[in-house]
Amino acid sequence: MKNDTFIIEGLGGKKTLNGEVSINGAKNAVLKAMAATVLFSDTVKLENVPDTEDVKKMNSILEKLGAKISHLDHTVTIDSTKLNTSDIDVDLAQSMRASVVLTGPLLSRFGKVVFPVPGGCVIGTRPIDLFIEAYKKMGAEVVQDNDAYTITAKGGKLKGAEIFFNIQTVGGTETLMMAGVLAEGKTVLKNCAMEPEIVSVAEYLNSCGAQIKGAGTSTIEIIGGGLLQSKGNSYITMPDRIETGSFLILGALCANNLKITKCNPAHIESTIHLLKEAGVDMTIGKDFIEIKNNGVVLNSSFKSVNVRTHEYPGFPTDLQAPMVTFLSQTTGESIVLETIYEGRFKFTDNLKKLGADITIMNPREILIHGNAELKSVTGESLESYDLRAGFATVIAALLAKGTSVVNNVYYIDRGYENLEGRLSALGAKIVRKSVC
């Protein structure tokens, strides 16, 4: 599983994919909702859950804490009522950055949490200083020892506080929002991230008794109270906006007709705006996006655009790699500035191997010369450096002439369910080679 590869027969610039693809639930929303089950006095049912490796990992982390979980056909049921420890498993936590969101609910419920110092990852260093600072403001003591943090709430209970995030942090906003739910008094979070996944979790928690105001704006207020109760009210996972944007870019480059269903186009407004500016013709519905009669051969009619990644509602860093792949096919030059992470251009090695003309100006900025004719090189394989870059590399391999091998498909599996099956259904020739 870890070393699986995709063998992809490229379309060589022909837009022969056709059909419909439906979007799965957002892993970056459901992982947080799963962590939030720690705040409940009853079992929580989560629906429209994507069957991805990160979801399985979060299940395992919760099970190690003592939760009872069933995962069947896109529905996960979590009973976190009888957790027997608030020490997060070191190996599992270190293999998934999102595990840090569990610290908020655990600390808030048990007054103590132990978790490993997260390592750097392929897209950058990703520190947690903002979480630590915020917990201290809420009256917690933080001890860092032997690569682990032990955080203890004085008197066993977190206290409401006013917290200003120096950087808009998605995980920090979600984690501290959840910490505030069982804290004493009022917590005010300022300069919050405004991503739709935060709103989705806050709305669910409110429907189960939490008092959270302002999610989706830069200031969130939480009045602490008792444990939440779902009373059988399920969390329905919102559509994955990054998967939506990735399929849209794939459609623009490789499909004549593609209908993307069960999505929320309002969540990728910035991406749609840029692609329209570049000349991609699409019809937008309330829950679908359709590309029609896009031509059968990739031509140079798309225009270059400059891109700057930004917190929501700006252009998402998680769509930067697919967008760079798109820009390798437009007329003229584009500049892409990555403002969120310092190490997210490594995947351009793949595009360059296939023949794209990209200049790295500095670790955060690249210049792309468009109209590249991509071609696979015998004996050279491509790497999935992270899950988003993995999808972008699959798009590049599909664009190219010849057969490409994409390694480390495990990264793609972390965030996308059955990508090869869904692409095959559109007419792509892609097979998984399992390496045990």
Active-site residues, by number, are 121
Residue from 130, 201, 327, 356 in contact with ligand EPZ (CB under 6 A): 130
Residue from 243, 318, 417, 420 in contact with ligand EPZ (CB under 6 A): 318
> Least distance in Å: CB of 242 to ligand EPZ?
7
Cβ-based nearer residue to ligand EPZ, 167 or 431: 167
Q: Answer whether 404's CB lies under 8 Å from 8's CB.
A: yes
What does the block give as tokens for 362?
Answer: 């500095």
Using CB under 6 A as the binding rule, whether residue 239 contacts ligand EPZ is answered as no
Q: Distance (Å, rounded) from C-alpha 102 to C-alpha 114?
A: 11
Q: Distance (Å, rounded) from C-alpha 317 to C-alpha 385?
A: 15
By Cβ distance, which residue is nearest to ligand EPZ? 171
Using CB under 6 A as the binding rule, whether residue 126 contacts ligand EPZ is answered as yes
Give the interface segment with ligand EPZ, choosing from 38-46, 66-74, 87-95, 122-130 (CB under 6 A): 122-130
Q: Answer whether 104's CB lies under 8 Å from 178's CB.
A: yes
Residue from 45, 64, 71, 97 in contact with ligand EPZ (CB under 6 A): 97
- For 93, phi then psi, to 5°, come to -65, -40
Cβ-based nearer residue to ligand EPZ, 108 or 169: 169
Contacts of 72 (CB under 8 A, 6+ apart): none
**Size of site (CB under 6 A) for ligand EPZ:** 24
Footprint of ligand EPZ on residues 242-271 (CB under 6 A)?
Answer: none
User: Burial, 341: exposed, middle or buried (Cβ in 10 Å; 0-12, 13-18, 19+)?
Assistant: buried
Give the interface segment with ligand EPZ, choosing from 169-177, 231-239, 259-267, 289-297 (CB under 6 A): 169-177
- For 89, phi then psi, to 5°, come to -55, 125
Alpha helices in 66-195 (DSSP H): 90-94, 103-110, 129-137, 170-181
Residue from 35, 158, 356, 387 in contact with ligand EPZ (CB under 6 A): 387
Pick the closest to residue 375 from 357, 399, 406, 405 (CA basis). 399
Q: What x/- string results for residues 333 through 352 when contact with ligand EPZ is judged by CB under 6 A?
A: -------xx-----------
Question: Can you give the binding site for ligand EPZ, defined by CB under 6 A?
Answer: 28, 31, 97-98, 124, 126-131, 167, 169-172, 193, 317-318, 340-341, 387-388, 415
